[in-house]
Amino acid sequence: MRALSVAVDWPELMISEVADGFIRPVDIQSPPNGSNDLYILEKAGRIRILIEGEALQEELFLDIDARVLGGNSTNSEQGLLGLAFHPDFESNGYFYLNYTHEKSTGGAETRVSRFSALTGNPRLSDTDSEHILLTVGQPFSNHNGGQLQFGPDGFLYIGLGDGGSGGDPMNNAQDSLSLLGKMLRIDVNGDDFPTNTERNYAIPVDNPFVGDSGVSDEIWATGLRNPWRFSFDSQTGDLYIGDVGQNSWEEVDFQPANSGGGENYGWRVKEGNHIFIDSPKLGPGTLTDPIWEVSHASGNCSITGGYVYRGLRYPRMSGIFFYTDWCSGRLWGLTQDEQEWAFQELDDTDFRIVTFGEDASGDLYIADQNSGTIYKLTDTVELGNNWAGFEILDNPSGWVNTENWMGWVQVDFAPWIWNGNLQKWIYIEEENITEEGGWLFIPKPQ
């Protein structure tokens, strides 16, 4: 990877325990309902809640253990794998799960289903409310993908692995009609297939291959081996994909927010930036190299993609994409400045980090699958309770000096100070301003 010349004030990470006692946790999600609850998925088919990110709710949010294939296995990649809340979860109670299921005819399939929280109580759900959106047959037990994310456009993105075994023997990732080895994009608010009980969704009209009879309409991007974890930058809308490699290279793929889709990330023609097999026919889409790769030579084996930090409390973490490797336990940061990418190893842990989480405040979490413990990522430099990061929003009477930001300004205060984002007018004098780590701060008004 190039661009190491980019100067970054990297954070000094601290990892603090939040809660333990989970059994093979695989995902951490926070609902868009104004709470800071964390919903923790357990591989066997259970979902538990940390109320406001702290107290464990005794009653399970959901238990579909009986429907989940491979969830109780300690060494398979099957199970309950992903959760996404509908953008209107607060009003409709809908949430979506990705899990492996045994087909009635035998064999495995991926199911993406909608469930409903109980009316008036988003911390409990109705196990009988399942509405299957999509099923995809899985020829092998590994490389199921698992992540679900609603994009900034309101559509549901689904990451599917190449179907498993090793080396993609069926060439699914480059097969234009297979949904395996792809990033899918569907509209959960419609149904273009009313007579098909296993296709209960609509196709966004601007999906990149709509109208091409040789490519499945659901496909947003191709050439993925096992996109176990991906996420959207909550500020920019950029998409980061951690795609698990084969024998030699792990990679981070990137799709800018202004992309119309159609990227082909290369597998199995390429693994990372390197030729894997040069004989398969390249499938549809624009061949797109990763923005980062790392060799297995130093003990890495399986990337876990995370999130771009957009919280307010830890300014040095801002704009950095955090990710890790399941085998080595290393944590990295990746960021872009003036079209150049820079990365840094930030920690070397003993954890088996299977997933990241992001709460409503933008703070980040990791799950150690071996110990069943949830941890929070923080920095040694933070905005304490006596300081507030601010942004000038307006100038009412021309009194603001734009060079040094003196005078009357409208300030957007951090939520932990005012118990919610509040905009207030205050008068700033020179002695009120301190510069620390490249950020400007003002004292909390008394």
Domain segments of the chain as ranges: 13-379, 387-443
Average pLDDT over residues 19-41: 97
pLDDT digits (tens, 9 = 90+) for 33-45: 989 999 999 999 9
- Is 50 exceeded by the pLDDT of residue 386? no
Nearest alpha carbon to residue 248 among 303, 173, 324, 286: 303
pLDDT digits (tens, 9 = 90+) for 191-203: 999 999 889 999 9
pLDDT for res 97: 98
pLDDT digits (tens, 9 = 90+) for 278-292: 877 899 999 999 999
Radius of gyration of the chain (CA): 22
Contact predicate 38/29, CB 8 Å: yes
Computed over every residue of the chain, the mean pLDDT equals 88
Percentage, residues of the chain above pLDDT 90: 78
pLDDT digits (tens, 9 = 90+) for 365-375: 999 999 999 99
pLDDT band at 3 (very low <50, low <70, confident <90, very high): very low
Bridge partners of 250, per DSSP, are 294
Q: Which residue has the higher pLDDT, 395 or 167?
A: 167
Report the Cα–Cα distance between both ends of the chain, in Å, rounded.
Answer: 49
- The encoded tokens of residue 376 equal 């929070």
Q: What backbone phi and psi angles, to 5 degrees, belong to 337?
A: -145, 120
pLDDT digits (tens, 9 = 90+) for 401-412: 334 444 444 444
pLDDT band at 426 (very low <50, low <70, confident <90, very high): very low
pLDDT digits (tens, 9 = 90+) for 293-323: 999 999 999 999 999 999 888 889 999 999 9
Give the integer Cα–Cα distance in Å for 304 and 325. Answer: 6
pTM for this prediction = 0.87
pLDDT digits (tens, 9 = 90+) for 61-116: 999 999 999 999 888 899 999 999 999 999 999 999 999 999 989 999 999 999 99
Q: Which residue has the higher pLDDT, 333 or 394?
A: 333
- The encoded tokens of residue 71 equal 């969830």
Reported as type and span, the H/E element at residue 303 is strand 303-308
pLDDT band at 383 (very low <50, low <70, confident <90, very high): low
Do the bridges between strand 263-264 and strand 286-287 make them parallel or antiparallel, or are there none, so unpaired? Answer: parallel
Contact predicate 362/376, CB 8 Å: no
The CATH number of the structural domain formed by 13-379 is 2.120.10.30
